[in-house]
Chains A and B, each alone.
Chain A
Amino acid sequence: MLDLRQYNSLGDALRAALERWPNETCLIEADRERENLRLTYRQFKEIAQALARALQDSGLASGIRAAILMTNQSKWLISAYAIFFCGGVLVPIDYKLTAAEQIKLLQHSSAEFLIVEYHLWRAITQAEGFSELRTRIVLVTEAPQNAELSGAKRWEDFRDSREPVFVPRERKDPACIVYSSGTGGRPKGCVLTHENYLEQCVALTSLYPFWPGVRYLSILPTNHAIDFMVGFIGPFTCGATVVHLRTLRPEFIREAFTKYQITYMALVPMVLKNLEKGLRQRFAELPKGKRTVLNVLIGVNKALTRRRPNVKLSRALLPQVHKAFGGQLRALFVGGAFTEPATLQFFYDLGIQVGNGYGCTEAGTAITLNDFKPFRADTVGKPLPGMEVKIVNPDSEGIGEVAIRSKTLMSHYLDDPEMTAETIVNGWLVPGDLGRVDSAGHLQLFGRKKNMIVTEEGKNIYPEDIETYFEGLPVREFCVFAANYLWPARTMVGEQLVLVVHPEPGQPVTAEVVASIAERNRRLLNYKRISGYLAWDRDFPITASMKIKRVELAEQIRRGLERSALVAL
């Protein structure tokens, strides 16, 4: 791999990689069983530089912000490299947000350029707030021939064959503005520097190396911090290959493993659990005799890999299982949310390593990762090289708030010094998680201290952001909380959002109110929905500026009501 200490910026390092491995395949894009595209590093460079030159001619220069809004595909990476080449700051936007939410983030980031897939652009042009969008240049990919582009240009035609000028950036300059969530009142735009990413890449590849010939299967969108690192920067700076699959359907993921002989893949817990379910189902369908033999072999593998993994041995003992994953798989990376230990153990017993860790956007990608020395399903591993983890105010069991210090910590939240000061205290990031570091140096997580939830798909949901959807509810006042924040629970799974409603004095929560709650809830994306409501009969404590004192209200609810008072929707 490249020695990343020698480079000042992502653009610098990626440019060196394109020169270093011109004939290696860097990108393959597949859509179901069809292969759309295959590029060597040299071909990638030619396409990206033609785009970079056209972007430069349109004014993309040092420090100017350019957003990418796309599903999982090759043009994401080509566009990102072109932006870095021009010295631009990349703003990855989550394609799963609603168009109105995407517009809000584009506005908040002050992005002047937007590179977007046609169907997503079409939704934006029809959404509320479109007329206020201030992006200067919009490039649309894959637009049908006679499509109405609403002022945008076609990505495929936006190129210039003249040599672009590489714009250097310093390590401390911003590379990306990544929204960790917060599309409501207070967007959380994490400003991550080139140093943050270069240091993160060094730390991750020290545990999971890439090299020419390694094939990474990308099913997560690249706006996801994990895919950005292990599906772009990591493999590219090592001469490896990224295979984009433009669908999450299990049947095509299975096919891609064997067709492309995949080495690594990153996924979120929900997809991992789905893989587990599929395998368990296939095992259950085996004739009794074969199932018994399989169970014996799994037991043997388990015993022989108790101290450390042995991929060769596991492949020999369980050839059918490993063949189903292409026969070359070295590890799956899971992240974005908490993964249940039983799922991790299931895969480990089959000889499939799942790199499980702990991280957050504010700290780059990963903070801790399982090093398999030996495998433990009950922890999120040890701090990566260069990361310091400490527990603040531990109780008698050693459980307290997790704090992190490293060169991968974001610079700040965009335009929000107050929130930055709350999140990074004296150089230590406090993401709001409760944990303990055991005698072996492993971090164990026990729940959240913050009023937030993380879904199985890896989405951070801040209750405050959900409240805008309930505005106009026929009640005196309302507030959204994470259930585990109201009633602390030492668990990382099954998190829920609850709506606290205070009806007009003397009124109950009427059927009309409940119907109105349900109707508004339906407008939310399914993973953002509240699961129930709580009737509260006292005025909410408020500040002088009429804002709800959430901490105080939560304390009152905690004292006054049990979790059983929750009415499911």
Chain B
Amino acid sequence: MAKYEQMKTLQDTTNEVLDLAATHFKVPREQLTADDDFFKKLGINSLQALDLLTRIEQHFRIELPDYELQGVSDFRTLAARIQSRL
């Protein structure tokens, strides 16, 4: 598993984050893009964004401290933070 995770590109990770967000917040996947502001696009607040972080942790089997979300509002940057912990 670890090996597989290491092989993931940032693009793979970004796509998986978009899939997770679409499923979790019940938004059509095709409406989401990497550069979207997830607060605005999903209409969520910072606590709901933490929910997404929990979902992401389960999926990627990593631990992301709350502060990793600090100052992040687009999927691409979030994916980069995840990628650095894979």
**What residues of chain A have their CB less than 8 Å away from a CB belonging to chain B?**
71, 95-96, 98, 119-120, 246-251, 270-271, 274, 456-457, 522, 525-527
Contacts and interface: CB of A to CB of B under 8 A. Distances in A.
Contact of A456 (B40, B45, B66, B70): B45
23 contacts: A71-B66, A71-B67, A95-B67, A95-B70, A119-B67, A120-B67, A246-B65, A246-B66, A247-B50, A248-B47, A248-B50, A249-B53, A249-B54, A250-B47, A250-B51, A270-B45, A274-B47, A457-B46, A522-B73, A525-B73, A526-B39, A526-B46, A527-B46
Of the candidates B47, B50, B53, B67, the one having the most CB atoms from chain A within 10 angstroms of its own CB is: B47
B47 A271 contact: yes
Given A71-B67, A248-B66, A522 B47 contact: no
A120 B51 CA distance: 23
Give the 10 A-B CB pairs with smallest separation, nearest first. A526-B39, A274-B47, A247-B66, A526-B73, A249-B50, A248-B66, A522-B37, A249-B54, A248-B50, A270-B45
A189 B39 CA distance: 30
Interface of B: 37, 39-40, 45-47, 50-51, 53-54, 65-67, 70-71, 73-74
Nearest to B39: A526
Contact of A249 (B66, B71, B74): B66
Nearest to B37: A522
B contacts with A: majority SS: helix
Nearest to A268: B47
A433 to B, nearest CB: 24
Nearest to A522: B37
B31 to A, nearest CB: 17
A339 to B, nearest CB: 15
Given A271-B47, A456-B45, A522-B37, A251 B54 contact: yes
Nearest to A523: B73
Nearest to A96: B70
A189 to B, nearest CB: 23
A410 B27 CA distance: 48
Contacts of B54: 249, 251
A332 B23 CA distance: 33
A87 to B, nearest CB: 32
Nearest to B57: A249
Nearest to B50: A249
